Chain A
């Protein structure tokens, strides 16, 4: 493994970056499941927070082993998705988006104030989530192999889903919910199942990233995170299973590449300002431009097979003569 990363170092790819790219890919997959069923849910940052906190609290405060703690985090995310999904998924497009934004904020606020609420109710001081400061000094337990295995399982799932009865039902619901129902598809059931699966994937990504960062804070999982996750899926594409993986990886790698290519200092020298300390702002601009460009001009995303087919057809030499009668 080390040899690989030594080789890739000149393009800004070290093991840490690669790990965060894998996390981003998993998160992209989590929102892909709901988008595939036409549900515009921004709740996955919230489920990620639940997965992170449940698993980190279990390993750090209750000495659970790593893998069971991650699974417990996923189960917790899934359970909450069951409770939240039933009422929320009756809403459609913009209303669903707003409600899930609200859900994400509620999760963050509750995590931030968990200890205090407990104290208020039971009149006993505890330290579970650590309030706004979060939990510190978490030993790094997640390694690259864990992430790769988890991602492979998720991608295999998405691949099989595409050609399954379940996946076709979701595609039908995405295209026209009413017709899907009239064709005998239990729309409420399939939407909820997709929502729960997405939540569990996000919670799993959360648990793995929680044991990678050393520190977790509630503010890491606010609206901005929800937007990041959405960006991964939009960039990669939401109808083909490789999409979210490509989207997550590319978007997470882009800032590293820019840094390595010294793009910032170059642009800075033109503008006459030192931009090297403004990484976050530059990332933001890139994210924003990516969102707009892709939603406007390439709604199928980077990994849209249609796009590459037509590109290949156009670029293949002697193509035009061949087609002529």
Chain B
């Protein structure tokens, strides 16, 4: 579903990504781990269109996306969350999720000006779908609160709901459980598995090995911009290169 071939991203003379190859198959949860500064966020920025690789090709469902704008990539069916939560803090929870359905709407300015049936129908559908999603992530009771005022864990889940609202087939999660306690993290893992069962594909960047073990079918390891290993969670845990890369950092 997602395929990176020889992707490099240079900043000045420094390679944040160095000829990275990676494949994410449909219907799987794939983990991406690596020490801080390994280039994980650069990688998913390149995939989601916020950054563009210096060289290399990225295919999403057979379409080359490395030079596309973010909104075009989203339209192809890719959603994401952010390492440091980026909600529309001054808007309500409901509005956050409605905005994410932007590209599925067709109502233009004239429709809204004259309150055409299309505008009304579409708005009603979007609100219904938003409530569905909020319920699924246990946020429906906050629908009218300011998103920025939610507790931390709820903000994480709202961001997830917002990403799902764009109706993606692949979701990139950038350290989704950072700052959560083990119980919350485990619950979040359940949500991820539920999404996979619904037919979504997920790429999860994580430090928390418990979550990785819980959800991932396959793991990629990035270190200093290079992909040093991939395989099942158990295989990765035994891999000598990976242990070296993490030595003195974790454990």
Contacts and interface: CB of A to CB of B under 8 A. Distances in A.
A184 B86 contact: no
B112 A184 contact: no
B166 A166 contact: no
B70 A182 contact: yes
Contacts of B119: 164
B40 interface: no
Contacts of B48: 182
Interface string A164-204: 11111101100110111111111110000100000000000
Contacts of A187: 71
B112 A175 contact: no
A304 B8 CA distance: 48
A182 B91 contact: no
Given A169-B99, A171-B99, A184 B108 contact: no
A179 B40 CA distance: 18
A169 to B, nearest CB: 6
A260 interface: no
Interface stretch (B58-66, B74-82, B226-234): B74-82
A179 B158 CA distance: 14
A163 interface: yes
Given A168-B95, A184-B74, A176 B88 contact: yes
B90 interface: yes
Nearest to B162: A183
B61 to A, nearest CB: 16
Contact of A166 (B75, B86, B100, B112): B112
Given A165-B112, A166-B108, A171 B71 contact: no
Contact of B74 (A157, A160, A183): A183
A112 to B, nearest CB: 36
Contacts, number: 91
B105 interface: yes
A106 B61 CA distance: 49
Contact of A183 (B99, B107, B112): B99
**What size tier do the contact residues of chain B reach?**
35 or more
Interface string A224-251: 0000000000000001000000000000
A113 B221 CA distance: 65
B166 A168 contact: no
A295 interface: no
A182 B80 contact: yes
Interface in B116-133: 119, 122-123
Nearest to A239: B90
Contacts of A188: 69
B88 A165 contact: no
Contacts of A163: 112, 123
Contact of A178 (B79, B86, B105): B86
A182 B50 contact: yes
B98 interface: yes
A166 B79 CA distance: 21
A290 interface: no
Nearest to B113: A160
Contacts of A166: 108-109, 112
A183 B86 contact: no
A185 B102 contact: yes
A161 interface: yes
A179 B71 contact: no
B199 interface: no
Nearest to B86: A179
A175 B113 contact: no
Given A182-B50, A184-B166, 16 more contacts: A160-B112, A163-B123, A164-B112, A171-B91, A172-B102, A179-B82, A179-B88, A181-B74, A182-B49, A182-B79, A182-B80, A183-B71, A183-B103, A184-B71, A184-B74, A185-B103
Interface of A: 156-157, 160-161, 163-169, 171-172, 175-176, 178-188, 193, 239
Q: 10 tightest A-B contacts by CB?
A: A164-B112, A184-B103, A181-B70, A184-B74, A175-B88, A172-B99, A165-B105, A183-B100, A186-B71, A179-B86
